[in-house]
Structure 1
Amino acid sequence: MASLIEKDGEPPSSSPTAEQKVPSSDITRDAEKQFDINEKALLRKLDWKLLPPLTLLYLLSFLDRSNVGNAKLEGLTEDVKMTGDQYLTGLTLYFIGYVLFEIPCNIILKRTTPRLWLPTITLFWGIVATLLGVVHNYAGYLVSRFFLGVTESGLFPGVVFYLSMWYKRNEQHFRISLFFSAASLAGAFGGVLAWGIGHMKNVGGYQGWRWIFILEGLFTVLVSAISYFLVYNYPATAEFLTEKEREFIQFRLKYDSDATIDEGFTWTAVLNAFKDPKVWLYGLGFHTVSLPLYTLSLFLPTIISGLGYSSASAQLLSVPPYAVAFVLVVTVAILSERTHRRAPFIMATSALGIIGYIILLSAPSPGSSYVGIIFAAAGIYPSTAIVLSWPANNVSGQTKRAVANAMQISIGNLGAVMGTQLYRSEWSPRYFVGHGVALAYLAANIAVTGTLWLVLNRENKKKEEIRRSQGISPLEEVGAAEGAFLGDEDPRWVFQT
């Protein structure tokens, strides 16, 4: 695909050369005039075309993995004849399947196409989620939960990589946060849906908890079929773009990231991700929020019910904490994007979550405990959104980034594996162990984030010294600069902190 600076084989007169080192804002304005394209209008077009279907897929993914908590209140454990500890084993198996298959799934995405891969895995997990509604024994429950984790594992890391191929680095965080906000929306919708579907007791001879899985799973299958037409591949082939829009997108990415570099798959790039200490720190960053995130989403109805509320009331009372979390996710994402800062917002929102767990551990009444739940959700979800977008901003080399995104989720969800065992029925209703470990994990998140912040700042200073000594410009010209590009080890690549 011809780019602005290569159109018709001749550099246009308005195009800057690498030696001119024109600021990227000036370059973009020149390109807008050249192609008669409004950048803000084009971004809105991308947002409306790309984000709604992807966000819907993640909403369904989070709904299908966490609705087991709602089903438990409607009689799942009694009908399948399993103990509370056996129920927790099923939750654990989900995350084991998830962790094992995330990196293979992102490698498959890199070697196929988003339009083929993302709807297909949605179809698979929709089928598994539906079958959860017809299990009749403990073995069926365990197998279903494991394969639900396997089939859902490719969505989030795949979409994070996918968006990095469309948007400039500082634009990605807000979009990934909007995408992740579907998790909080799923919690809110899940409570309302479970309350309504729970009234379908004995319809067709099935208990209400079965209908929760069946109806929500079938809806996922329906959406997967439609999403084959709604998910696009990459800018060079997207049907909704004009030729000029494609060239303009390629141009703006060329001066910001590695998205326009024609990089084939190599196992060396895969190994580079495993050898980079920063990738492991990104993983630990998610690990330390994953445990609080998933224990809250999986056990929230049970926690609220333990405060003395009926099952129906607990389903509905799970909605407000998620609604508050959704507002905070979007608000913090906007502030983070405008300030070009990640670490301070992660640390601040994790501290907010810590306040919530302190209230839960010390609260003497159901009302004050409920306030603690709201604080916990309001801190966990925005912190997680920023953590998950960080490697997409900072890891360069397309294959390395795809693997790094998957590694982050895999390492992170090991925290969820442990978290599924922390809210045992014998520790009800105060759940001191679960709340205490979640609090400790959020404190660890602040420590990990602070460490990564220092590491990135130190590497940025080293790169600045190299650029100054060699007289080269920063990342703004990386895609157009002469010579080989060394990925995130290149002195022109500036880490976002």
Structure 2
Amino acid sequence: MYRTASILYQRVNAQCSLCDLNQAPRSSDSSIAEHAGINEKALLRKLDYRLLPPLTVLYLLSFLDRSNVGNARLEGMGTDLDMSGDQYLTGLTLYFIGYVLFEVPCNIVLKKTTPRAWLPTLTLVWGIVATLCGVVQSYAGFLISRLALGIAESGLFPGVVFYLSMWYKRNEQHYRVALFFSAASLAGAFGGILAWGIAHMRGVGGYNGWRWIFILEGLLTIIMSLAAYFCVHNYPATATFLTAAERKHIQARLSHDSDATRHEHFSWPAVGHAFRDPKVWLYGLAFHTLSLPLYTLSLFMPTIIATLGYTAAQAQLLTVPPYAVAFLLTLLAAVFSERTRRRAPFILAGTALAGVGYILLLSDPRPGVSYVGTILAAAGIYPAVAIVLAWPANNVSGQTKRAIANALQISIGNLGAVLGTQLYRTETKPRYFLGHGFALGYLVGNLAVVTALWGVLRRENRIKASLRASQGGGGVVVVGEFGEDEAFLGDEDPRWVFQT
């Protein structure tokens, strides 16, 4: 999967030659040239192959372990636990309540500890919880397991987004975050196939097929978490897979572009600064208006397809094409967003495409047309979400503020998922007008929020350009080599240009 994505990226990268008004000045080339003998493209490939595969696998497992409940429902979980459709929705809601409440605390722990210790430990804990989901015997056990799973998984995504911002230049981060997030759509595709296969184990050990879905996928997560202790690295300054010259080169290239090389300790005033910045809340709203359609689609897609007239086994397999299309478009959108150094236009395009999908679901009851609607919905939502989640990592500085902003964005965003889990109620099937209508309304809201945020960022860039000009700073300047003792105002500094 990762090799295919890299080939795609290199081909499009070679074909694109687009201007960027926010590009960092080439004055940094003199410093980069000091590290003669370092092939920068080869070094980036080395970072990608060492950092991204383990992180992508962890998120694939995370999304698989949270969304396989939809597959388990089709295989008789509700009947075995004597659980009504609305009670099932309550379990989904509890997952996201735990997820929302613990994201910011988890990123505080990450900032105080290390990625190598924290990220695999989170994975181990949720792997154990996911496995135990397969042996619950009552509705109460189902509720407890979903809440615990949400708490355990809450720290992975915001933690990884912050982690990648400490390794890559700002414009390089988006493609990596998008590749990492594409594991969500890949998990959806694999989840349908795995659930279809595992469901054939019904009766083994006296367990129904849905129990084996949880048990086997949870055990896989536990195994991968143990491997992650050896595969996840900390930060560039201590990475053992790099030579001393490569570490120095990475420090030099980051020092011209971001705050990643500054020695910033955790501070509570920086936490407060993140909460007071209106742009941080706009990033959160941008994800909030996408998370409801994102998670309702991933959690209810098997059910939605089954109500079109397909059997449970057919519905499991028919979830694969929408996710496969979403995976490819997520990578393509990431490549072109990085090459053009634009974020908002690609988000708006993805949101509009998803809106068309929901219009089809709402307006035409024919199974074939509705199924095309699910494909378009997934094909638009996943690329848009990937870009939205990378946006604050590109634009927020310093380090503590960015760590909190990443977590706060996902906390605010997943409040949409909390609401969404209550919308696809049993009494509204088979057309699910309530759920589809809310999803479409949220997508319209996303168009408004992203357009507003785009305008705010462009306005602040114009103000900063005027300040630089008045101070004799000349044209476009992003970030210079800020000394440790030099006054640097983070993303409020006139030299910090927002990516729009």
Map Cα deviations across residues 350-395 of structure 1 (whole Å, 9 max, x no partner): 0000000000111131001000110000000000000000000000
Which residue of 2 is the match for residue 348 of structure 1? 349
Write out aligned runs for 1:18-97 (5 A).
Answer: 24-25=25-26, 27-28=28-29, 31-32=32-33, 34-97=35-98
**Which residues of structure 2 form unaligned runs of 5+?**
1-22
Map Cα deviations across residues 318-360 of structure 1 (whole Å, 9 max, x no partner): 0000000000000000010000000011011100000000001
Which residue of 2 is the match for residue 202 of structure 1? 203
**Which residues of structure 1 form unaligned runs of 5+?**
1-21
Candidates 473, 479, 482, aligned match of 1:479: 482
Counterpart residue identity of residue 263, structure 1:
E
Distance 2:32 2:354 in 1: 44
Distance 2:137 2:269 in 1: 46
Map Cα deviations across residues 406-426 of structure 1 (whole Å, 9 max, x no partner): 000000000000000010111
Write out aligned runs for 1:376-391 (5 A).
Answer: 376-391=377-392
Distance 1:36 1:388 in 2: 35
Alpha-carbon offset, residue 140 of structure 1:
0.4
Which residue of 1 is the match for residue 138 of structure 2? 137
- Is the 1:24–1:255 Cα contact (8 Å) retained in structure 2? no
Distance 1:364 1:353 in 2: 18
Counterpart residue identity of residue 357, structure 2:
G
Distance 1:312 1:342 in 2: 39
Alpha-carbon offset, residue 221 of structure 1:
0.3
Identity within the alignment, %: 71
Distance 1:481 1:68 in 2: 49
- Is the 1:254–1:480 Cα contact (8 Å) retained in structure 2? no
Distance 2:142 2:448 in 1: 38
Counterpart residue identity of residue 228, structure 1:
Y
Which residue of 1 is the match for residue 364 of structure 2? 363
Q: Secondary structure at the match of 1:302?
A: helix
Which residue of 2 is the match for residue 118 of structure 1? 119
Which residue of 1 is the match for residue 185 of structure 2? 184
Q: Which one is further off, 361-370 or 141-150? A: 361-370
Change (3 A) 1:252 1:67: same
Alpha-carbon offset, residue 244 of structure 1:
0.3
Matched, 1:100 2:111: no
Which residue of 1 is the match for residue 453 of structure 2? 452
Alpha-carbon offset, residue 163 of structure 1:
0.1
Which residue of 1 is the match for residue 442 of structure 2? 441
Aligned residue pairs total 476
Change (3 A) 1:120 1:110: same
Distance 1:23 1:289 in 2: 31
Distance 2:351 2:28 in 1: 38
Candidates 489, 493, 496, aligned match of 1:490: 493
- Is the 2:360–2:370 Cα contact (8 Å) retained in structure 1? yes
Which residue of 1 is the match for residue 338 of structure 2? 337
Which residue of 2 is the match for residue 323 of structure 1? 324
Change (3 A) 1:107 1:481: closer
Change (3 A) 1:469 1:221: same
Q: Secondary structure at the match of 1:418?
A: helix
Matched, 1:214 2:215: yes
Matched, 1:418 2:386: no
Counterpart residue identity of residue 488, structure 1:
D
Distance 2:85 2:57 in 1: 32
Distance 1:91 1:65 in 2: 9
Which residue of 1 is the match for residue 10 of structure 2? none
- Is the 1:35–1:244 Cα contact (8 Å) retained in structure 2? no
Which residue of 2 is the match for residue 16 of structure 1? none
Distance 1:480 1:496 in 2: 23
> What's the Cα RMSD here?
1.3
Write out aligned runs for 1:142-161 (5 A).
Answer: 142-161=143-162
Alpha-carbon offset, residue 471 of structure 1:
1.7
Write out aligned runs for 1:155-304 (5 A).
Answer: 155-304=156-305
Alpha-carbon offset, residue 481 of structure 1:
9.2
- Is the 1:478–1:493 Cα contact (8 Å) retained in structure 2? no
- Is the 2:31–2:252 Cα contact (8 Å) retained in structure 1? no
Counterpart residue identity of residue 475, structure 1:
V
Counterpart residue identity of residue 477, structure 1:
G
- Is the 2:25–2:478 Cα contact (8 Å) retained in structure 1? no
Map Cα deviations across residues 1-53 of structure 1 (whole Å, 9 max, x no partner): xxxxxxxxxxxxxxxxxxxxx97445336524633101111000000000000
- Is the 1:258–1:478 Cα contact (8 Å) retained in structure 2? no
Distance 2:464 2:359 in 1: 42
Map Cα deviations across residues 94-115 of structure 1 (whole Å, 9 max, x no partner): 0000000000000000000000
Alpha-carbon offset, residue 478 of structure 1:
4.7
Alpha-carbon offset, residue 475 of structure 1:
2.0
Distance 1:33 1:90 in 2: 57
Change (3 A) 1:33 1:258: closer
Distance 2:376 2:481 in 1: 42
Which residue of 2 is the match for residue 309 of structure 1? 310
Map Cα deviations across residues 157-208 of structure 1 (whole Å, 9 max, x no partner): 0000000000000000000000000000000000000000000000011000
Distance 1:386 1:187 in 2: 19
Alpha-carbon offset, residue 92 of structure 1:
0.1
Distance 2:165 2:108 in 1: 15
Q: Secondary structure at the match of 1:35?
A: coil
Counterpart residue identity of residue 97, structure 2:
I
Distance 2:43 2:119 in 1: 24
Distance 2:243 2:348 in 1: 42
Please report the TM-score for the alignment, with normalisation by the length of structure 1: 0.94
